Structure 1
Amino acid sequence: MELWGNSSNNVVVFTEPDFPYLDAVSPFQPLAMKVFYYPIDTSLSFSQANKLIRDLKPLHLVAPEVYTTPPALQRHRSDLKIEADCPLIAYKRGDVLHIPLQRKYEKIELDPELAASLTPTEVKPGVALATITGTLVVKDNRSHLKPLLEPDGQVPATKKRRHDESRNPTSYTWGSLNIVQFVQKLAKAGIIDVKVEDSSTGFVVHLQTEDTLIQVEEHSTHIYCAGNSKLRPTLRDTLLQCLSKF
């Protein structure tokens, strides 16, 4: 068992596999600390440990350095060490390790005031969406989303926007562009000479008569229009018609 923490966040971690941790903490309930159970089985042999590693297929493995080489008096015993097909990070007592782990998702705590200002819109039965803008504060490996502040750092912009709701958009677009539908709507708008080419990041739509390029990527769309100021609003409106709204 290990115990660490500070005055506001205490944690107890049970590592003994044969010890019923629920029985250990039950006499102390309610317990003002988080309890985690990560059993460590120290009875595995090297062959059992290597088989477990092959079955689990980890991306990275962290092990004591003494386990990565045979014993000093039995250098010929290559079976008495940890073997892994993945990168093996060995450490000694007192080492500080950098483990190359990348998280795809992060848990963010939403400020109650910011949460109260959201107005979800139902896009389909059982699914509601809402846009959110705030200040992301990351401290001690924990993320908090708080109300957006003005440049002076005093007045929350969310409060200010409540008094000027006329500036808020009436709808928001989302989703991927259907390139076939886009070309069809361009034809209805009188733009017929259209050539579509695949690119490494999406599509390139070339309006040859208008000398215009539309670059469609996964997260953005760029319109390169040569001098025709009336064409750009038409292309923008046509593109928006092909996207979903809420």
Structure 2
Amino acid sequence: MVDYEKEDFQLLCRKSDEELNEMLGRYEISIPVQGRGRNSKLEKIKYIKEYCASHDILRKERYVNDEYNICSLLPNVELFKADYGLEADTRFKSNSVSEILDYLERESTESNKLAVIESEISGEMQKEARSVKGYMSEYVSNLKEVEIKPIITWKDAIKSVDVSFQFENDVRPIPMSHKGAGYRRLFMVARFRYLAEKNKGVNIIYLIEEPETFSSPVRTKMICLVHYVGFRMTIK
């Protein structure tokens, strides 16, 4: 934000009436009797700002900490570009991996699926440690304990995902990066609908660049209709 350099004049809107009145008296700032809303905070701040302007009290840019978690109230933004080029759809990959990471984090907490697996792995390694201790004790008489502890990082389990399509005349799935831009955009809008349905009630803004671009006029009409219905569903 841009605010005054002098600390006394910073964050005027957050000051109480008493603090503003004290400033008006200290700096001998007077408010005309005929002024509208003479006792309102806005009127007081208006004349304090006029005082700053006339006394060359400079302003500067500064960072404001998010004390009231305002950022948590702002919507997330998902951008669907018109064309990712011939390379793999990296934006889709990043979104998908993000969802996978959320799943891994959730399921690795106490009593959930991955936590149970982690416990079983740890148990198996402890069995191995006890056996190794028994054999080592034959060579080292003062050995007290052997511990084998797995270091499991679930977030590193999946780095990325690949997208392929298989249509009726295809003998095998074809990577999305090998299909035309129209199919990639159709996939883009389908994923938009998925995210809109999944994130109902969450503040999200979806930005779709050129959703109507398609080589087939019929499909262009269809994709525009899907986009419109999905957008209405999200806003509602």
Normalising by the smaller structure, the TM-score range is under 0.3
Larger strand proportion of the pair: 1
Higher Rg of the two aligned structures = 2
Normalising by structure 2, report the TM-score. 0.23
Larger helix proportion of the pair: 2
Higher relative contact order (CA 8 A, sep 6+): 2
